[in-house]
Amino acid sequence: MGKIKNSQRKGPLAPKRLQKAAEDSVLDSHSSDLEKPGTSSDDGFEEPISKPSKKITSLPGPVSIIARKKNKFRTDDTKNVKPPTLEEMKELRDTRNLFHSNLFKLQVKEMLEELQLKTKYTEYIESWMESFTAFTQQQLKDGLMQKSQLEVPLNVDMKISSFIFSKPTKEPQLIGAASTGTLLGPKIVVDVALEMPKDCLHKDDYLNLIYDQKRALYLTYITNQMRSYPAYAQDKFAFNYHANNPLKPVLELTPAAKQVSKHLLLRLFITAPQSTFKPGRFVPWNNNIRPTYYNDEWDEEEALPSTQHYNANVLFDLTLAQNQALLDKAFKGRRNFQDGLLLLKVWLRQRELDTGFTGFGAHILASFIVYLNQQRILHQSSSSYQVARTVWNQLSNTDWTNGITLAPAASQTEQLSTLAGYYDVCFMDVTGQLNLCANVPLAVYQRVRAEAKLAVDLLNDMKLNSFPYIFMQKCPLYTRVDNILKITNYSSIQQMLVLHSKPQVKYDYANYAYPQLLKILTVLLQKGLNERVQSILPIESVCSSWPVESKAPVIGQAIQLGLILDPEHAYEVLDKGPASNDNPEGSAEFRKFWGGKSNLRRFQDGSITEAVVWGTAKDAPSKKRLIVRQIVLHLLEHHLQLESNEIQYIAAELDLVYHLTPWFKVSKVKTKLELQQDTDAEALSPNVIRCYDDLARQLHALDDLPLEIVSISSISPVSRYCEPMPVLPQARLMADRIHASHIQRVIIQLGQSGKWPNELGALRALKTAFLIEIGEKLKAQCHLNWSITSEGLLVLKWGFCFLLELAHNKELALLKHEVTERGVTKYVDNSESRALEQRHYILPKVSGALHALHQTHSAYGGTVLIAKRWLATQLLDDGVWPAMATELLVAHLYLQRNAPQAIAAPQTGFNRFLHLLAHSDWNGELFLLNFNNSWQEQQIGDLEHSFRSDRQSYPPLALATSYDQQHAGRLWTTVESPSLRILSHVSRLARHALEMIETSLQSKDLRFVRPAQLFRGSSEGYDLVIQLKSDLVPNALSYDLGSPFVSFDQPNYLLPRAGKDLLAGIVQQLRSAYSDYAAFFYNPHGGKELAIMWRPPTEFAPKAFKVTELQACTPCDKGKVQVVRETLVEDFKVLLKDFYLRISTPEELKREQREQQNPKRYFNAKHQETEASSKPKKQKLAKAAKVQAPPKKKSLIKSKPLKSLS
């Protein structure tokens, strides 16, 4: 209670009255204004004219109030508001109704502007077309095809003998994006179609690929002529396959003209008039490639197999003109449709769904817009946003598997359902003959639908700025699938094609390998994996062009499939067949399908069925994640005779990093718990959690405590499956001191009592007394050892060590307590109170939420483990990158719905995490974790607003959860950790890691990156390395992939004293004292070196003597002072006394290592064999080293230097 002078008892009221008086005077001046309009600009700066104001002071109050109101209204009217025009009203209303905010609309507008083609390109394209038209009409002559050095860009078995060229009768035409005005950078591809005249073709050419050969020859002839024509002689000519289709060669022309050559590419298509062949020649059920063409025998009595895909392929050329005309009609001059299509194209391309043979091309979307327009679902005047939105909506709500058609009812001669029966997905074009989606497999179409549905959901989510998720974020397919199957081995591909591809399929795809492989594998895997897999997606890469003189490459000889798993079923250990006595046939079939793996089993419910068992229910989660891999490998071997070394199945390749190191033998741990040697951090967490639960029960049951324990919550990462280091029950009482490598923090809250003291010291004293009491009771009633520390109570149970802390509201209040000058008590957050609130109140809730998240997404924990291990191996410890930031960022990935399916594999989660690190706009994005959706829309808006307008007051990486509203964005991270420098450094590291992953995925020969490549930091960029005595720093229990500086040493697994981390403490001291001159890095997971990087030389330059800036300075010439690095090094030595082995530069250290170590031990194979049996880890290392040996790969292994960090 403050002291107030008697006379001022009504303190707070007094100023109010004053204010009122002031208000009155303002009113007066207003009314004076009213009386004498225009005399004074009443802004408070000028003195009001005294005479009238005096007169009006005597006026009664209400009059003056009305006067003020009128006055205010009038000024508003004249100054601010000009009456809104109809147009403006409409626009404002539109914005409100269509978009949630102006923001989305403006962002879309900006993006469209950004995508707008520069006029130089449009002009160039126009003039090029003119010249090309002239060229086709004047320079091309009918006649026999001359011999040229060009290779015909087509691989066929039987070649036609002669081909007579005839001059095109029609002008070349722009097709596709160039024609509809929706060209999209950065590489602008302009498609030009040239129609082959009818004279070139005979009516029998439809058969056995003759048409395709003529088409290719025609293209070659034109290319040849163009090359010799001076106007094009300088240009770069290349052939390529359109959409990875080996029957569709196109000419790719890069103009030599300087101003456009970088971004412009012209593609020349050859088409044919529709009237060339008899209508109905190419209906899906017709056969146009005879078995005899491939020297196959065919039973004459049997009907010829239909070649629907090949037919569609030819029809594509024949109907192109007509389709193009339709598109032109719909898009020409309609900016809204064009923009809508552009938006959709951006969306599609970010998702990589339009690539390759099986891609869902943008032309399908364009046709779909026309279709919707025809169906009167899209109106002519719909805005671009409406176009995109309607397309997404319709995509997700319609089903094309039964077929839709663009053709008017009159020309759709065939039954739609019959047509649809021949394809997975059916969208007939305007002629009613061509299926635009002929090559789109069902999985890809479903994927597009799912993505479209997600886009609509994102748009509907008012709490989200959905724009970046829909348009800006790159989502390569490999980050969206859980497992990847990659077959690149030539002989196994051939084996599959020859032995397992059905002849019908072979004719259907004109012997193109890729779709055949796709069909074989998807059918098999879909059947075998059944519910376990949500979809099997082909991951294609676009084939590259080749110079016109060389032979056309054979493509499609490798396949990569992405599996999206269903987390609910994927990890089931049992595949049950039909009951053997009810359904003997099904049973036999099941047995045949699974081969030797299938056994007859009797189940608890009494049924006896065939079943395949892949593991036991008790298996560790990481082991269960490999079940799908087991199944796939088994199926491939059983059905396709593919050995596991011929294929790559990429799953859980990186999960190794949180496994228990093989050096540590679990048999040495004395415990009642069951432990396996090949266990990992994730599998060990439940032990700790169980122990904690038991401890909580014991605490609740304690008798005679003065106050009852109300709540107990664990805040250690283990409790949410986020501890990357395996926690073994090792903690022991030795010489009266508790030794443990990990302590689990537990927060206890007590029941209400009014008797707690009002002073911080006394409160803490009482808390400590209370903890001692608990400790004594635990010893007496539960026989648990304990020890009191300044932080809390250490309790030992089952070989785990817990640190109990008491939370009390009053402590927080007392920390925040402040008294202002006026004697008013205020509660103000400060760093100490914030830390306490976080630990005692917010972390328990967030911990619970993350635990719940792990229950719904079982891959969450694993992802965090890999992510944390990765950051640690890049020498980033808790001091520079808070561990909670990692957990929350990963949680953000799982909460945010930026993919239609949840992530089922930790490795995929890690890939996404890297993406997030690599491509996030830290400055512009606030990561909000809306647990339980408890933030209201309004609150989110306010937070975002404050974040945008006051960015400086937030840390570089801003994280907020729904449990820390008042600290939003400032609780989990600070300005120093992670600092801007570290943040950009991490982004760079992540980009580099992604690059390695992507190259290994795209390459035909490389295997997936090894953990050793990703999980070992770079030794470059550091100035100094302090090597610590290895026997003083215990090694981490997690799988160690080596330090960047030194080679492996004998590890030690000493148990440190519980509670205080030695190395972390010293590094913290170093950072607090010397961070102006140097940055310190070390691996918190058992790293034994401290890497130091000096700040830029300007920090060490001589400067003038100033009393306040004299830290660490030594005098140099002319009365100036400077910081000397050697002195600082001496300081480091002092601080690390008894602790450091030596200080040297990384290069020196490396050289020394090389001389010291006998290299034979690692590289000499013979030697290795003898040692291998005893030292499993070294053997593995040696393998890794061998892999690293070729210089080509070496560049991959090195991480990028850190130089730019300083």
Partner 1 sequence: MEEIEGYTVVSLRMSPDAQHCHSVYMREHFIRLMDPNKPKGRTLFLLNVPPYVTEESLKGFFKRAGNVESVQFAAKPGKDETIKWYEGTKETFSTVSPPFIFKVAYVVFQKSSSLAKALAVPSIDLFDISGASTIKTGMELWHEEYENHYILDAEQTKAQITEYMADYDRRERAAALAAKNSEADADGWVTVGKEGRNAGFEQKESVIGRLEKKRENDTKTKELKNFYTFQIRESKMQNIVEMRKKFEEDKRKIELLKQSRRFKPF
Site for partner 1 in 767-826 (CB under 8 A): 767-769, 772, 775-776, 787-791, 820, 823-826
Tell me how far the alpha carbon of residue 686 is from its chain's centroid. Answer: 28
By CB under 8 A, tell whether 24 contacts partner 1. Answer: no
1032 and 1139 in contact (C-beta within 8 Å)? yes
In a 13 Å sphere around the CA of 1062, the CA atoms on its Cβ side amount to: 20
C-alpha 311/C-alpha 43 separation (Å) is 81
Neighbours of 247 (CB within 10 A): 23
Q: How far is the CB of 663 from partner 1 (least distance, A)?
A: 25
- From 147-155, 380-388, 726-734, 1117-1125, give the range in contact with partner 1 by CB under 8 A: 1117-1125
Residue 997, sorted as left (phi over 0), alpha (psi -120 to 50) or beta, turns out to be: alpha
Question: Smallest distance from the beta carbon of 1088 to partner 1, in angstroms?
Answer: 15
Q: Which is nearer to partner 1, 51 or 826 (CB)?
A: 826
Q: Which of 22, 233, 613, 762 binds partner 1 (CB under 8 A)?
A: 762
Query: Which residue lies nearer to partner 1 by CB, 301 or 821?
Result: 821
**Binders in 319-358 for partner 1, by CB under 8 A:** 346, 349-350
- Please give the structure tokens belonging to residue 943: 């937070």
Q: Which is nearer to partner 1, 626 or 1024 (CB)?
A: 1024
- CA atoms within 13 A of residue 891's CA, in its CB half-sphere: 29
- Does position 2 interact with partner 1 (CB under 8 A)? The reply is yes
**CA-to-CA distance for 922 and 292, rounded, in angstroms?**
63
Alpha carbons 1069 and 1080: distance in angstroms, whole number: 11
Alpha helices in 399-471 (DSSP H): 416-420, 442-460, 467
Q: How far is the CB of 1098 from partner 1 (least distance, A)?
A: 19
Q: Give the integer Cα–Cα distance in Å for 568 and 585.
A: 29
Rule CB under 8 A: which of 453-512 touch partner 1? 468, 471-472
Pick from 547, 584, 1115, 1201: which binds partner 1 (CB under 8 A)? Answer: 1115
Q: Which is nearer to partner 1, 768 or 974 (CB)?
A: 768
Least distance (Å) between residue 468 CB and partner 1: 8
- Among the candidate windows 408-416, 566-574, 848-856, 1120-1128, which touches partner 1 by CB under 8 A? 1120-1128
Closer of 196 and 740 to partner 1 (Cβ): 740
| Residues 60-79 as x/- pattern, contact with partner 1 by CB under 8 A | -------------x--xx--
Residue 514: CB atoms within 10 Å = 22
| Shortest separation between residue 12's beta carbon and partner 1, angstroms | 6
Distance CA 870, CA 655 (A): 11
Q: To the nearest whole angstrom, how small is the minimum distance from the Cβ of residue 384 to partner 1?
A: 15
State yes or no: residue 111 binds partner 1 (CB under 8 A).
yes
What is the C-alpha to C-alpha distance for residues 31 and 235, in angstroms, rounded to an integer? 80
- Where b means 16+ CB within 10 Å and e means fewer, 517-535 reads bbbbbbebbeebbeebbbb
Shortest spacing between CB 388 and partner 1, in angstroms: 14
User: Shortest distance, CB of residue 24 to partner 1, whole angstroms?
Assistant: 15
Specify the DSSP element, H or E, that contains 69.
helix 61-79
- Give me the half-sphere count of Cα atoms (radius 13 Å) on the Cβ side of residue 865: 35
- DSSP H or E segment with residue 238: strand 236-241
Cα of first residue to Cα of last residue in the chain, in angstroms, is 53
Which residues 6+ apart lie within 8 Å of 785 measured at CB? 733, 738, 779, 795, 796
Among 26, 34, 98, 103, the residue binding partner 1 under the rule CB under 8 A is: 103
Among 35, 759, 937, 976, binds partner 1 (CB under 8 A): 759
Segment contacting partner 1 by CB under 8 A, of 438-446, 759-767, 988-996, 1164-1172: 759-767
Whole-number minimum distance, CB 5 to partner 1, in Å?
A: 6
- To partner 1, the closest distance from the beta carbon of 994 in angstroms equals 16
Closest CA relative to residue 1004, chosen from 486, 632, 544, 591: 486
Structure tokens at 447: 């994927």
**Of the candidates 326, 1136, 1181, 1182, which one interacts with partner 1 according to CB under 8 A?**
1136
The yes or no reply on residue 1131 touching partner 1 (CB under 8 A) is yes
Please provide the DSSP assignment of 32-53 as one string: HHHHSTTS---SSSSPPPHHHH
Among 101, 155, 583, 1188, contact with partner 1 (rule: CB under 8 A): 101
Closest approach, Cβ 435 to partner 1, in A, equals 30
Tell me the residue ranges of DSSP E strands in 328-455: 404-405, 427-428
Does 185 help bind partner 1 (rule: CB under 8 A)?
Answer: yes
Residue placing its CB nearer to partner 1 in the complex, 214 or 345: 345
Distances (CA, A) of 558 to 204, 499, 909: 34, 16, 26
Phi and psi at residue 83, in whole multiples of 5°?
A: -60, 135
Provide the residue count of the chain.
Answer: 1206
Q: Smallest distance from the beta carbon of 336 to partner 1, in angstroms?
A: 19
Tell me if 1112 contacts partner 1 by CB under 8 A: yes
Ranges within 908-937 binding partner 1 (CB under 8 A):
921, 923-924
The reply on whether position 1145 binds partner 1 by CB under 8 A is no
Q: What values do phi and psi take at 209, rounded to 5? A: 65, 15
Exposure b/e, 922-945, CB count within 10 A at least 16 = b: beeebbbbbbeeebeeeebeebbe
Nearest Cα residue to 1037 out of 798, 690, 714, 679: 679
Q: Residue 157 Cβ, how far from partner 1 at the closest point, in Å?
A: 40
- Contact pick of 1134, 1156, 1170, 1174 for partner 1 (by CB under 8 A): 1134
For position 677 contacting partner 1 by CB under 8 A, the verdict is no
Q: In the set 92, 207, 499, 710, which binds partner 1 (CB under 8 A)?
A: 92
Binding residues for partner 1 restricted to 686-745, rule: CB under 8 A: 737
Among 1139, 1175, 1187, 1196, binds partner 1 (CB under 8 A): 1139
Which residues ranging from 832 to 851 are in contact with partner 1 (CB under 8 A)? Answer: 832
Question: Does 530 contact partner 1 by CB under 8 A?
Answer: no
Q: Tell the smallest beta-carbon distance from residue 823 to partner 1 (Å).
A: 6
Part of the chain binding partner 1 (CB under 8 A), chosen from 540-548, 851-859, 882-890, 1110-1118: 1110-1118
Is residue 477 within 8 A of residue 563, CB to CB? The reply is no
Among residues 80 and 1050, whose Cβ is nearest to partner 1? Answer: 80
- Is residue 1054 involved in binding partner 1 (CB under 8 A)? no
Q: Which stretch binds partner 1 (CB under 8 A): 571-579, 668-676, 985-993, 1106-1114?
A: 1106-1114
Check binding of 1135 to partner 1 (CB under 8 A).
yes
Residue closer to partner 1, measured from CB, 235 or 791: 791
Candidates 166-174, 304-312, 681-689, 756-764: pick the segment binding partner 1 (CB under 8 A): 756-764
Report the interhelical angle of 362-374 vs 335-350 (nearest 10°).
Answer: 140
190-249 residues near partner 1, rule: CB under 8 A? none
1113 near partner 1 (CB under 8 A): yes
Give, as ranges, the residues between 1059 and 1078 that touch partner 1 (CB under 8 A).
1059-1060, 1062, 1065-1066, 1069, 1072-1073
For residues 947 and 5, what is the distance between their CA atoms, to the nearest angstrom? Answer: 43
> Phi and psi (nearest 5°) for 144?
-70, 150
Count the residues of the shown chain that bind partner 1, applying the rule CB under 8 A: 100
159 versus 948: smaller Cβ distance to partner 1? 948
Q: How far are the Cα atoms of 271, 730, 1017 from residue 1154, in angstroms, in the given order? A: 65, 36, 19
